[in-house]
Every structure is written in structure tokens, then in C-alpha cells.
């Protein structure tokens, strides 16, 4: 009886971690955090916040909660909060190409930490080469930096992978016009509008998003003006 009781105790000890992990992912908060049909951004943010604050999620589960909340915040155009969540996710899983890409994009939209944004997109592409969205995101970083010819190179590569991507096509058109190829720029933007009638509004919303790069922005302005002719 003593041996049987001891064995039962060991089963409880070893089973506990598995039950603990299952409990985290079986809550309503976790379900909402994952998103899906009928789960809008506010519900997703609330669900992820519940998971994070519960103290029960750790490792990959906690990283996923931060990543998912970042995506929901991105959907609501709360870019700086999204950046914080992607950073938290990347502390737990530094080699997540999706989190790196999303943080790159959020930083580019807000025009903050553009040097870090470029590093994020570069690392994401190292981990997951030939990803159209990441190439497009890096193109937008270059667009922010006024390195228009370099942006066009990334947009060209992205459009080879996703030729019907209206946002990337419109962005390339903008880069072409700003690089001096107004005819090519107009053609790209017209083709993008044919794919999505509201694409200009979408692009302008991203480009006009509030933000500032602080000391980095002040320092880079001179560098941009001096170097953009090379790119």
C-alpha cells in the first residue's frame, strides 16, 4: 500500500505541469486572444491581456499572447503599444520572423527607430527569406528614409512574389514618382487602384500616421539629404 501511494503521488507531481499548460490554453481569454470569426480587435486585446495578467502563461504561450495582442493593436492603429507587445514577444522568442516583421512595420508606420526597424526586417528576412510582406515592409522603411531607389528594389522583389498586392504596388508607384519617374509612378498607382479602389486612402493613412524619431530623426535628416541621390 505504501508503494502504491508513493507511485500515485509521483503521478500527481508529474501530471501537474501538463494540466497547468492545458489550463492556460483552455480559457475563454485564450480563445479570444487567438482571434477568429466573430472576435473583433477589442475582444482579442482583452483576451490576451487576461492571459498575460493571469501569470499562468509562460514561454511560447506567453509570447503568442503578446504577439496576438500586438496584431490586434496594429489593427486599431495603436502602433506604439503594438511595438511594446512585439518587443515582449521577441524577448521570449527572439527568432520569430513574424514578430520581427510586424515590429519593423509598426516602427516604419510611426517613423520611429527607423534604424531598428531596418534591422528587424533584415533579421526577419534572414530567418524567412523571400517573404513578400517583409520585403514590402522594408521598402516602406526605405521610403521613410527617402531612399527611394532602394525602396523600389524591395518593392520589385515583393511584387514578383505577390504581383496583385495593391499596397505594395501603390507604394512602389509613390517611390518611383519621388525618385523622378513620375510616369512609372502614375502607372503603378493606377494599377493598384484597379486592384483596390480604396488603396490610396489606406496608403495615406499609413504615411500620415503620427510619430517622431526623436534624436535619431534629427540626426538622420542631414544624412538623408546628403545620401538620397545615391539611392
Cell numbers of 76, please?
Answer: 486599431
Same domain, 81 and 169: no
For the chain, the average pLDDT equals: 84
Q: What integer pLDDT is reported at residue 215 of this predicted model? A: 33
Mean pLDDT of the region 26-35: 85
Same domain, 160 and 205: yes
Same domain, 187 and 225: yes
CA gap 180, 129 in Å, rounded: 30
Per the structure, the complete domain to which residue 142 belongs is given by: 117-210+219-231
Answer yes or no: are the C-beta atoms of 133 and 155 closer than 8 Å.
Answer: no
**Whole-model pTM over 0.85:** no
CA gap 132, 64 in Å, rounded: 22
3-25: pLDDT as tens digits: 454 444 444 444 444 334 457 67
Cell numbers of 17, please?
Answer: 505541469
Evaluate whether residue 99 is within a structural domain: no
Point out the least confidently predicted range of 48-52, 143-147, 220-224: 220-224
Amino acid at each position: 500500500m505504501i508503494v502504491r501511494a508513493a507511485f500515485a503521488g509521483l503521478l500527481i507531481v508529474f501530471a501537474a505541469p501538463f494540466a497547468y499548460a492545458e489550463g492556460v490554453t483552455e480559457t475563454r481569454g485564450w480563445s479570444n486572444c487567438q482571434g477568429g470569426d466573430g472576435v473583433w480587435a477589442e475582444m482579442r486585446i482583452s483576451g490576451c491581456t487576461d492571459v498575460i495578467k493571469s501569470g499562468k502563461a509562460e514561454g511560447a504561450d506567453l509570447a503568442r499572447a503578446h504577439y496576438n495582442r500586438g496584431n490586434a493593436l496594429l489593427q486599431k492603429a495603436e502602433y506604439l503599444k503594438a511595438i511594446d507587445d512585439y518587443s515582449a514577444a521577441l524577448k521570449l522568442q527572439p527568432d520569430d520572423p513574424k514578430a520581427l516583421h510586424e515590429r519593423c512595420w509598426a516602427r516604419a508606420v510611426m517613423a520611429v527607430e527607423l534604424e531598428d526597424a531596418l534591422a528587424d526586417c533584415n533579421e526577419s528576412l534572414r530567418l524567412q527569406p523571400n517573404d513578400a510582406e517583409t520585403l514590402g515592409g522594408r521598402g516602406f522603411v526605405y521610403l521613410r528614409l527617402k531612399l527611394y531607389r532602394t525602396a523600389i528594389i524591395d518593392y520589385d522583389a515583393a511584387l514578383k512574389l505577390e504581383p496583385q498586392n495593391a499596397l505594395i504596388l501603390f507604394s512602389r508607384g509613390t517611390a518611383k514618382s519621388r525618385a523622378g519617374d513620375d510616369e512609372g509612378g502614375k502607372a503603378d498607382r493606377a494599377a493598384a487602384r484597379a486592384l483596390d479602389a480604396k488603396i490610396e486612402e489606406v496608403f495615406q493613412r499609413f504615411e500620415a500616421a503620427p510619430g517622431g524619431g526623436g534624436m535619431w530623426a534629427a540626426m538622420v535628416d542631414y544624412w538623408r539629404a546628403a545620401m538620397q541621390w545615391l539611392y
